[in-house]
Amino acid sequence: MHYEMAAAWTMILIILLGGVFDLFLTIPIVALYISFIKRLISYYKVTKQLNAALKKRV
């Protein structure tokens, strides 16, 4: 009986730690995606401005 309780508590602890670890891994990945999307938007804006300036010049 004692062995089953220890095994159950061990499994619960592993599941909880895995969930916390997964959360800590997910946060930086989401931050990288947000940073990448911001960089794409700024690149698009700069390219648009550059094309407009080149059209004015010609």
What residue spans define the domains of the chain?
A: 25-58
Sign of CA dihedral 34, 37, 41, 46: positive
The length of the chain is 58
Residues of the chain with pLDDT under 50: none
Instruction: Supply the pLDDT for residue 1.
Output: 63
The pLDDT tens digits for 41-53 are 999 999 999 999 9
Distance of CA 10 to the CA centre of its chain: 29
